[in-house]
Each structure stands twice: as structure tokens, then as C-alpha cells.
């Protein structure tokens, strides 16, 4: 009888240890992904080195940060619309975007693009 309960106890402890190991590994992976996402939000990396390429975009009235991010990602101006959405939400320009047509460059940071879209910074002329 004692042998059976010891084996059951060992099995339960082994199962608890395995579950705990899986949880720890998941937390490590999620932590790495969260760090990577946060780094990309604050690093302000560009898509390409200067001089880059100019791309025309049109911002419509009432476009959300998500829609602007998807537009810029689709045009190759940013790498990740989700990262841009967080940058947009944290920026001083979140309520200042002016609808219109703009020329943006792949060597600009998201902050520089937002400044242009808000009318705070002039675009470069060719």
C-alpha cells in the first residue's frame, strides 16, 4: 500500500514540475517578445538608410492610428503597423494629423513621419 501511494505522489510531483517548467518557458518567451516589441516602439528604426525612396500617401479625414499604420506599412514606409500604432498613441501628434497628400521617405523615422502628417515639419522637395 505504501509503495503505491509513494509512486502516485512521485507522479503528481513530476506532473507539477512539468507544468511549472512549461509555465516558466512560456513566461520567458512572452517576456522576450514583449521586450522586442517595446524595443521596436522606442528605437525609432527606419526601413532603409538615407537617401531612401520617396512615397506618396494620402491621409483621409478621420483615419485612425491603425488605418494610418496599415497604409504606411502597405507602402513600405514602416515595418510593423502594430508598432506604429503604439508610437502614434504615445506621440504628441495623436490628435494633430492633418488630412492631405504627403511625400514621405523610407529613411524617415515614425516620429518624423508623424511630424510631417501633423504639419509640424516640411517635406523635402526634390
pLDDT tens string 76-93: 999 999 999 999 999 988
Give the contacts of 94 (CB within 8 A, at least 6 positions apart): 65, 88
Q: Stretch 24-51: mean pLDDT, rounded? A: 92
Least confident segment among 11-15, 23-27, 64-68: 11-15
Buried b (16+ CB within 10 A) or exposed e, 105-124: bbbbebbbbbbbbbeeeeee
Question: In whole angstroms, what is the distance from residue 13 CA to residue 19 CA?
Answer: 10
Q: Stretch 26-54: mean pLDDT, rounded? A: 92
Amino acid at each position: 500500500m505504501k509503495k503505491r501511494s509513494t509512486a502516485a505522489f512521485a507522479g503528481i510531483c513530476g506532473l507539477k514540475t512539468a507544468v511549472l517548467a512549461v509555465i516558466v518557458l512560456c513566461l520567458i518567451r512572452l517576456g522576450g517578445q514583449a521586450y522586442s516589441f517595446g524595443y521596436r516602439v522606442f528605437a525609432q528604426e527606419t526601413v532603409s538608410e538615407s537617401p531612401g525612396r520617396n512615397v506618396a500617401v494620402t491621409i483621409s479625414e478621420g483615419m485612425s492610428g491603425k488605418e494610418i499604420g496599415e497604409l504606411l506599412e502597405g507602402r513600405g514606409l514602416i515595418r510593423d503597423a502594430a508598432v506604429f500604432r503604439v508610437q502614434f498613441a504615445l506621440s504628441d501628434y495623436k490628435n494633430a494629423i492633418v488630412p492631405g497628400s504627403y511625400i514621405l521617405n523610407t529613411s524617415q523615422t515614425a516620429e518624423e513621419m508623424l511630424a510631417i502628417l501633423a504639419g509640424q515639419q516640411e517635406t523635402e522637395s526634390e
